[in-house]
Amino acid sequence: MNANRITALLAGLGISALAAAAVFAAATVPAGAYKAPMNAYGQPDLEGTWTNATLSVLERPKEYGTRKVMTPEEVKKIEGGAAELFAADAAPRDPKVKTTDLPHECGLGFSGAGCGYNAAWIDPGSTVMRVNGEPRTSFITDPPDGRLPPYKPGVTVPNMFMRAHYGENPENQTLAERCLTSFGYSAGPVMLPLLYNNNYEIAQSKDTVAIVVEMVHDVRIIHIGGKHRTDGERPWMGDSIGWYEGPTLVVETTNFPQETALRGAWKELTVTERFTRVGPHRILYQFKVQDPTVWDIPWSGEYEFSAAKGRIFEYACHEGNYALEGILAGARADEAAAANKTAKAAPAAATTVIKKQ
């Protein structure tokens, strides 16, 4: 399978190659028989390495309407199709193929060598997200259509890949290209899965919960029993405080910076997350998003983290970021080539003028 087939697959599933998805729901935790373990501090034990990799998406494809759960046939089609395509991509390919043979356009803004993300490089998961065993059509559960509510008039959501002055300065590039944060919203909140590296570690002390994010080795520090800062400063990933409600860790985050706006919201954005162990290897993750300057109503959703096999390895992005230098140098090379082309044409015009004199 070539790269455009992969991206076509992901687009078909509703997975953004840039950002992708996450969860929600203000719904209550199902009354199951599972009793969450407690840690040495008497808190619900959430520690471990977890993943939210999934074929599911934040916003529900419109064909599902207000239906929250997929049919077995729909699940089979998506999971089977993904397995088939990924297996095909893993098959040997013609070693004579060159980068110039890559498709010119492969969707989602990628073209040529940019189509290089084949199955070997991505890990978006292989299953539809189950919540309490139900295969879900989206993470968002409210509004009932599983989609973001309409934006208020005048609100604009910048396209992270359609930035003005692209290639002119390092500051014009995306945060991910600069190794400042991941593509999309991996660290959150809301924590949304990506094309790869959807792994997290949770550590708990008496007054702190730390969430290590594989992408760009971000660590979100949640102050248990703390208060939001009131100095007007807006740290990366916002300002998270938390508390425990029975078996659930509740986290409230405000003071987001504009650079990491969530679907256009940052200034008055409040994200409330709920983490609840619902099985030995599952954490129910529910979220509620509200920003009255962006949407008239809150939106919310849910998904489940599953226990990840193994541990998180170091994602030393900046230390190996030759791509940013390449992007800028490439832009300068293009400009130089264009200038040379102009210069070759210019002498003829100049000569003409001289002759006229």
3-class SS at 237?
Answer: coil
Angle CA 210–238–299, to nearest 5:
100
Q: Give the binding site for another protein (CB under 8 A).
A: 39-41, 47, 165, 167-171, 178-180, 201, 203-210, 212, 216-219, 221, 223, 235-236, 311-314, 316, 318-319, 324-325, 328-329, 331-332, 335
Q: How far is the CB of 206 from another protein (least distance, A)?
A: 6
* 268 or 325: CB nearest another protein: 325
Q: How far is the CB of 26 from another protein (least distance, A)?
A: 28
- Per the CB < 8 A criterion, the answer to whether 37 and 79 are in contact is no
Q: How far is the CB of 312 from another protein (least distance, A)?
A: 7
* 219 or 297: CB nearest another protein: 219
β-strands 299-307, 270-279 pairing? unpaired
* 179 or 271: CB nearest another protein: 179
- Per the CB < 8 A criterion, the answer to whether 115 and 102 are in contact is yes
Q: How far is the CB of 275 from another protein (least distance, A)?
A: 15
* 239 or 273: CB nearest another protein: 239
Q: Quick one: CA dihedral 313, 315, 79, 102, positive or negative? A: negative
Listed in sequence order, the DSSP H helices in 39-119 are: 72-90
* 136 or 234: CB nearest another protein: 234
Q: How far is the CB of 110 from another protein (least distance, A)?
A: 23
* 66 or 169: CB nearest another protein: 169
Q: How far is the CB of 204 from another protein (least distance, A)?
A: 5
Instruction: Name which of 132, 144, 129 is nearest 23 in CA terms.
Output: 129
* 60 or 277: CB nearest another protein: 277
Q: How far is the CB of 49 from another protein (least distance, A)?
A: 9
Count of helix runs (H) and strand runs (E) in the chain: 3, 12
3-class SS at 295?
Answer: strand
Helix (H) or strand (E) holding 106: none
Dihedral Cα 63, 25, 257, 182, nearest 10 deg: -60
d(CA 224, CA 96): 57
d(CA 4, CA 115): 7
